[in-house]
Amino acid sequence: MRGKHLPSSRGLGSRFRTLYSGTAVSLLGNYVAYLTIPLLVAEVVGGTEETLPFSISYALETLPTLVFGLVGGVILDRIRLRWAMIVADLVRAAAFFYLAANAGGGIRIGEIFAMAFLIGSFSAVYENSLYAIIPALVAPDRLAKANGLISATQSAMFAAGPMLAGIMAAVGGTAPGLWFNGGTFIVSAFAVFMVGKVDTIPTEEEEQAGFIEETLNGLRFLVGERRLRDSTITAAGANVVFGFIEATFVVMASEVLLTQSDVEIGTLIVAFGLGAILGAAVADRVIRFLGLGRTMVIGVLVMAAGMGLLVFSRFGVMALVFAFSMFVGIGLVNVPIATIRQVYTPRAMLGRVITASRALSWGTLPIGALLGGVLADRADYATIVRATPLLLIALAAWLFSTPLWSDTFGPTHRRLRHMRRTEAPPEADEAAPAE
């Protein structure tokens, strides 16, 4: 077992594959909940006439990413990430079991909101820990491949989960899907446990300071490194749009795309997922050819084009093509963003910088959800949703003036290219601190 604590220099390694298997199962549970929780909200409030309850539920589930990210990164840099992930899985399992046990039995909307916030809080812990622990298990030149695999799997589960949720809801109501959610997190916790101990590699890059000082140091580095800052702004801007779209997806499908059944809604989600799978699957090769930055910029343009065409169409073959194209763009954006955070951040600050970047990026999801929900209730929903692609177009135009386009490879590319040329395995002091 000597050297097993080091990142694998060939392939992704058995320990990453074990971690990946648990993450894949939990992602399936996440996307079963993507449809099951809105269906539970609709069941409690009596329909989809009002968009605000759906927006509030979604906002409470995504808001903890912002709240946790402002202070939680320091905690992640000080604790064992593997155990943080296990605890997060177990708490989420308990929350879903509670919803399942009370579904159809007079559960109140306030209880759903509370569980959504709890689930979102520990989802933030799990996901931030996941991306911080990957550099301890995978060699630097394999990070884009590892991130692409996780992103592609997330997209696959996004395609399969809601369809499975729809089938379970049609057969037995919302409870079976919620029980299933809880079970997936139990399986995930076991898989993360089986990864085994991930040794923390001592580092002298930064001495441990006070809690507030370390938090501020992480934010300063994020703001000062232009690639990290600009990619975070990009994700935050895009998520204003997707927060609104995801929170009111059921409304958009019925009111704008004029779907006629839950099966058509599920088919639309499958098209989303398949597009994201393709985008994530090819992202590593596109990155090797175009670089991290330009791959991300092109992804934003593809997203904008797909969404702009989708919101002016009706459900049918062309709408499915547009939905597929939009999520190809998402796959091409997500992989380089995750990789930029990992390769441009000092090892001692991985937890803080990744968590802060994700907090600022995902923190706009509840803003978009709530703002869009309020505007849609006070104005014409179709008009609001058809205007949203303009923000993505403006975002892509701005990116052409940033180093993400002009210096798309940068020093990281030269370092990784040299590593591939020499084919030398990473030294012990190059391993990122994990737990």
pLDDT at 51: 62
Mean pLDDT over 245-262 rounds to 80
Please provide residue 256's backbone torsions phi and psi, each rounded to the nearest 5 degrees. Answer: -105, -50
What whole-number distance in Å separates Cα of residue 87 and Cα of residue 193?
A: 10
Confidence of residue 178 (pLDDT cuts 50, 70, 90): confident
What was the pLDDT predicted at 48?
Answer: 56
Decide if pLDDT at 128 tops 50: yes
pLDDT band at 103 (very low <50, low <70, confident <90, very high): confident
Domain boundaries, the chain: 14-430
Mean pLDDT score, 287-301 = 88
**Pairwise CA distance, residues 344 & 135, whole Å:** 12
HEC secondary structure over 273-297: HHHHHHHHHHHHHHHHHHCHHHHHH
* Residue 9 in this model has a pLDDT that exceeds 60: no
CATH number of 14-430: 1.20.1250.20
Distance (Å, rounded) from C-alpha 388 to C-alpha 8? 43
Does 203 score more than 90 pLDDT? Answer: no
Residue 371: phi and psi, rounded to 5, are -65, -45
pLDDT band at 300, cuts 50/70/90?
A: very high
pLDDT single digits (tens) 133-146: 887 788 777 788 88
Average pLDDT over residues 381-410: 83
Residue the block writes with tokens 């992804």 = 299
pLDDT confidence tier of residue 321, bands split at 50, 70 and 90: very high
DSSP state at residue 432 = P
Mean pLDDT of the chain: 77
Least confident of 110-119, 167-176, 369-378: 369-378
Range scoring the smallest mean pLDDT among 17-26, 32-41, 115-124, 204-213? 204-213
pLDDT score of 366 more than 70: yes
